[in-house]
Amino acid sequence: MKHFLKYLAVICALTVVFWIGAGKMVDHGLIKLENSRYQEWDNIARGTINAEVVILGSSRGVSGYNPQIIGAGLNKKAYNLSYDAGSYALQASKFNLYLENNKTPELIIQNIDFTHFAANDSLIGENNMLPFRENDLFKTHFAGYENHIFEPWNLFSIKYTRNFRFIRKGLYGYFSIYDGHNIHKDGFVANDEAFKKDKRNLVALKKTVEARSYAYLLRNVETVKKSMATYSLKSEVVVVWAPEYIERYALAPELHAIISAQFRTLASQHSNITFIDLSDHAMGKEAVNFYDTFHLNSTGSSKFSTLLVPYLAP
């Protein structure tokens, strides 16, 4: 019996070592994937970005602000730190993680739009953080959201068993096999798709307007304004409302007027804050600049980023 228990203990120990080792190998492989979100989170946490200009936003920020164009126009290193599908709270959490080990940027460009002020209770895109499940910085900034990856049992390679495609991608990275799905460049993702009307976004905004359910949005506007005021203590802050597709812009003129007035007032009260409202720019009348009713495509982002540079130049 003693020999059997010893044998069983050895098997259990080897199994644990295997699961830990396999998890570490997949972690490393995912981080190695060039221009992937896994690699971006690693660069943020290790403090290797250190941009002079940081762009914050949600999916509109990801696809709308080209940091190569903006950086070249300002002769500064620019990085698009937008959080895809994340509203103001997740954007702030990502930026706070960035500030842990990267230098404070000289200029912060904050994109706003109607969805920016929605609440995020769940951790959007949590799978991109899988390699950092054991990282204390990620726990500090993101474990407070509803999530699966920070649950106590979800350790090492166990966290990948919910979907084996992560193991496949991790092995691709570990053995340097090309994975063609990683397309972001300095946080920016160019989208070359032709315009397609996205009725879901239009319907959601229309319901908000018809119900006049502005209260929660305006409460969150106040939260964002406080964040901008705090950022402005150490950086120049430019709050930007990028061009809206004309059909979307026409749905909520009253709500737009209320929110934009708030940020004009904020800018008048802080010398380091500027508000630029390009929501009704002529670009919004041309579907060729959008891939849906909400997001600029690569053509539109190039036009918009070029248009924005003179507003940002000192």
Question: Is a pLDDT exceeding 60 seen at residue 15?
Answer: no
Q: What is the pLDDT of residue 116?
A: 94
Q: Provide the whole-model pTM.
A: 0.94
Kindly report the length of the chain: 314
Parent domain of 308: 2-312
Q: Each residue of 84-109: pLDDT tens digit?
A: 999 999 999 999 999 999 999 999 99
Structure tokens at 68: 């190569």
pLDDT greater than 70 at residue 18: no
Per-residue pLDDT reduced to its tens digit, 138-184: 999 999 999 988 888 776 667 888 778 888 888 888 888 766 555 78
Cβ atoms within 10 Å of 74's Cβ, excluding its own: 17
**Three-class secondary structure of residue 134 per DSSP:** coil
- Averaged over 62-82, what is the pLDDT? 98
Q: How confident is the model at residue 10 (pLDDT cuts 50, 70, 90)?
A: low
- Per the structure, how many domains does the chain have? 1
39 CB-side CA count, 13 A: 16
Q: Residues 193-251: pLDDT tens digits?
A: 999 998 888 998 888 888 777 888 899 999 999 999 999 999 999 999 999 999 999 99
CATH number for position 222: 3.40.50.1110
Q: In this structure, what DSSP letter does residue 234 have?
A: T
- The amino acid sitting at 297 is N
More confident residue, 74 or 172: 74
